[in-house]
Each structure stands twice: as C-alpha cells, then as structure tokens.
Amino acid sequence: MKINKIKVRNFMAKKGIKTQVELAKEMGITKNQLSAILAKDYIPIKSNVIELCKILEVSPKEILDESSNENNYSTNVSKSDVTAIELFAGGGGLALGLEQAGIKTLQLVEIDKACYRTLKQNRPHWNVLNEDVSKVEFSKFKGKVDIVTGGFPCQAFSLAGKKLGFEDTRGTLFYEFARCVKEVNPTIFMAENVKGLISHDNGRTLSVILNVFEELGYDVQYQVLNAVNYGVAQKRERIIIIGTKPGVDFQYPQKANNILTLRDVLKDCPKSEGQSYSENKKKFLELIPPGGCWINLPEDLQKQYMGKSFYSGGGKRGMARRISWDEPCLTLTCSPSQKQTERCHPDETRPFTVREYARIQSFPDDWEFVGGLGDKYKQIGNAVPVELARRLGEELFNSISKLKKIDALN
C-alpha cells in the first residue's frame, strides 16, 4: 500500500494546505514522519493512511497507487509468474514481504504448530505444510519454481579440517535447505541468517555453506544488511546469502534515504496483550531514562542489578535498556523481558506489547499472531522484518522478470 505523493499534493492544493509541514501538523506527526510515509519505497501503516484521508477528505483509493493497494496483493500475486518456495517460514514475515513484492509462494514449510496456525489464519489459501522439513519431498517442483528462500538455524559441521561438500552436511537443517535447492534447481535462492554466522566456528561454518552452494552450481554472494536502512525502525543485522545460476544478475536493495524511529512506527499503535516485569525489576528500570541502561543507575544499584556481571567490565548495554522514542529500536529477540536483551518502553516501565513488537518488525496491524503469549513474541522476534523482506523481494522479482523477458524474446 504505497501513497502517491503527486496525488497527495493535488489534494493538498484543493484543501489549501500549502506545505508538508502544515499537513504533518494537522496529522499530529512530525515533518520527518510525513516524509517517511510519502517516500516512494515505504509502505505506511493503515492508521496513517486513514488519518491522511480524513484530513484531505478523500478515500484511500484516491491517494494510493493502484498497483500497490494492499487489497490487491493477493489478486496481483495470484497472477504472478514469479514463484517461490519457503522453508522455516515462521510467523510469515519473509513470505508476506515477498507477497507484497509480487512473488507467488507455492509452498511453505514450518514445523511449529503455532507458526503454522498463524500462517493459515492470515492466508488461508497459502499451501503451508506443518511438517518436519526432512520428510518433505521437493523434486515435484523442479523446473516450476524460480526462487527458494528460508532462514535455516546456524549449526556447526563435524569432520574438522576437511573441505566439506553437500553430502557431508547431512543431519543439519542447512542440509535440508541445500537439498531443497538441489531438488528444485531454482534460478535464485536466498538464505537469511544471523550476522554471527560469519564468525561461527571461526568462519568455517560459512565457508562450508558457500562451498556447498557452489558445488550445486550457483554463483554465491552475501552481504550483512541492517534492517534500519530499509524502512524498519530497528537496528537488526542479518546476513543475506544469494545464489544465482551463472549469468543471472541480482542487486541488493539500495538503502533508504531516511531512518525511522520508534516514534514513527508506534504512533496510534493498537492496544494489545503483553508481558510485564516483576516488581523487583521495575524498581530498577523506573530509574533509567529513555536511551539509557544499567549504567545510568547509582553504583550500588548497578551492583545489585548486574550481580557478578558488574565486575566483568564493559559491554552489556542491552541490560536494563530503556529505548528512546527518537531512535530506532535495538534488535528484538524472542522475549522482550530477557535480562541480557532488555527492551523497555520509553515512557512506561514495561516490555513492548505484542502489537508494538509487530509494528517494530514492520508487520501490518491486520496480521494476527496465533498461540500463547510466548509463542507470539517468538514468532515476531524470529521473523524477517516485512519491509526488509519486501525490498529484497522486489530485487528478486526484478531479476527473475528480466530473465523471463529475455527468454521470451529468444
């Protein structure tokens, strides 16, 4: 759902609103927030679109680009000839972003029951297998799927000192991802993982992974992308590995021109359930200012809160961390109240709610999470941010579309 800036300007003129500063003031947001909403590559949240329409006295379809209206996503994707399979689908961040980019996912595999239910709750028509990936046969998709995607867990390989190939990685979830790539033989694959994969097992794990993909006939490249540079209000670094068949061009997405803050994405956030702190933890966190952490406590309280960690010195700035409204959030984890990775609300002494978590991960408000409270936080915390997935998806879509056009001419 992208807003057409030219259409907005025309309606501003009709209403006598001369500048974006005036419009932002009427919306109750900052000029920078409005610039982000109107940016070419940004998908705004529904509440902002509704407020903008109310002020301009127009309907959403009068200011939205028809090609990007979110109500048309499923319709447009059903007609798309760019297809994908996703493994380890989780709560749907990657699949949703690819859908928004115009890619049709033919099958998703996810073993976790709560994640499976979330996927089916939001997209009943998606072909989701609630299976152990090692039991899934992918060869039926050979020649029918353009892209294979997924985020396999980071696991070490055995047989130290040996240059490992595809068969040597059996027993790992990476092997199952590589097996899918081998059986499907897609034009492109995309694997997402934590930044720590680069240094895992002294770099040996990544070396094996790259070697296996090259053995399967792919040109492989990787980059560490920070979601904050791609329309996500969160500092979240992930390695994105891309494999292409020889001669296929892929370019990583360009960075956005602006950085979103917590204030930008949590304005008018719907109320939802969330975890709470113990009374003992609250007495410490209430003393910490926005943007601060345990370092801001008096020394005697630092020692009480940190325990033995106080004497290890340095680092640990994620502990007792209260996020500031005017900065992006730190990386979200599977639980908002873990002591090592505290993410306290800027004003209220509590963890972020489920919907706030989802907003920070750029999920739309109508994406529902199913399961217990812990399941919901885990699904969101493990997800690929939707906006980052969309930006990557657009580049994948462009690469495949160009190739199909060339093939059609030959």
| pLDDT tens-digit map of 219-261 | 999 999 999 999 999 999 999 999 999 999 999 999 998 899 9
Q: Are 172 and 157 in contact (CB under 8 A)?
A: yes
Q: What sign does the dihedral 47-48-51-56 (CA atoms) show?
A: negative
Cα separation, 398 vs 342, in Å, equals 39
Mean pLDDT of the chain: 89
Tokens 């994948």 belong to residue: 396
| Residue 129 DSSP label | E
Cα dihedral across residues 301, 303, 307, 312: positive or negative? positive
The reported pLDDT for the residue numbered 74 is: 54
- Using 50, 70 and 90 to split pLDDT, how confident is the model at 160? very low
Average pLDDT over residues 360-385: 96
Residue 79 above 80 pLDDT?
Answer: no
**Would you state the structure tokens that stand for residue 325, as one six-digit string?**
């409204």
Residue 293: Cβ within 10 Å count: 19
pLDDT category at 315 given cuts 50, 70, 90 is low
CATH topology of domain 83-260+385-409: Rossmann fold (3.40.50)
- The band of 158, judged by pLDDT with boundaries at 50, 70 and 90, is low
pLDDT value of residue 163? 55
Task: Write down the pLDDT at residue 9.
Answer: 86
CB neighbours of 205 closer than 8 A, spacing ≥ 6?
154, 155, 156, 157, 197
CA-based R_g, the chain, Å = 23
> Of 131, 24, 152, 148, whose CA–CA distance to 88 is shortest?
152
Identify the pLDDT of residue 33: 78
Q: What is the 3-state secondary structure (H, E, C) of 358-383?
A: HHHCCCCCCCCCCCCHHHHHHHHHHC
Binned at pLDDT 50, 70 and 90, residue 314 comes out as low
Which residue(s) pair with 104 in the sheet? 83
Confidence check: pLDDT of 11 > 60: yes
pLDDT given at position 41: 64
Tokens 């791609």 sit on residue: 230
Looking at beta carbons, which pairs linking 248-254 to residues 24 or more positions away fall under 8 Å?
248/187, 248/188, 248/219, 248/399, 248/403, 249/399, 249/402, 250/188, 250/221, 250/395, 250/396, 250/399, 251/395, 251/399, 252/223, 252/225, 252/392, 252/395, 253/391, 253/392, 253/394, 253/395
Tokens of 181: 């790539």
351-362 average pLDDT score:
97
pLDDT tens sequence across 273-287: 999 999 999 999 999
CA distance 83 to 94: 14
- Calculate mean pLDDT across residues 278-302: 93
Distance CA 177, CA 154 (A): 12
- The neighbouring-strand residues paired with 66 are none
Q: What are 92-102's pLDDT values in tens digits?
A: 999 999 999 99
Domain ranges of the chain: 2-65, 83-260+385-409, 264-382
pLDDT at 95 (0 to 100): 98
Supply the pLDDT for residue 58: 87
pLDDT-above-70 percentage for the chain: 90
Instruction: Please tell me the distance from the alpha carbon of residue 186 to that of residue 407, in angstroms, as a whole number.
Output: 16
Cα separation, 41 vs 34, whole angstroms: 13
Query: What percent of the chain has a predicted confidence (pLDDT) above 90?
Result: 62
**pLDDT per residue as tens digits for the range 333-342:** 998 887 778 8
Tokens of 143: 């020649």
Burial of 79 (0-12, 13-18, 19+ CB in 10 A): exposed
What are the backbone angles phi and psi of residue 231, rounded to the nearest 5°? 80, 20
Residues 171-209 pLDDT 10s: 789 999 999 999 999 999 999 999 988 988 888 889 999
Residue pLDDT, tens place only, 97-138? 999 999 999 999 999 999 999 999 999 999 999 999 999 999
154 is catalytic: yes
Query: CA-CA distance, 22 to 34, in Å (whole number)?
Result: 10
- Whether 405 shows a pLDDT value over 80: the answer reads yes
302-330 average pLDDT score? 84
Give 359's pLDDT tier (boundaries 50, 70, 90). Answer: very high
Q: Global pTM?
A: 0.80
What is the homologous superfamily of the domain 264-382 according to CATH?
A: DNA Methylase, subunit A, domain 2 (3.90.120.10)
Homologous superfamily of 2-65? lambda repressor-like DNA-binding domains (1.10.260.40)
- pLDDT value at 42 more than 80: no
Catalytic residue among 115, 154, 180, 293: 154
Is pLDDT at 71 greater than 50 in this prediction? no
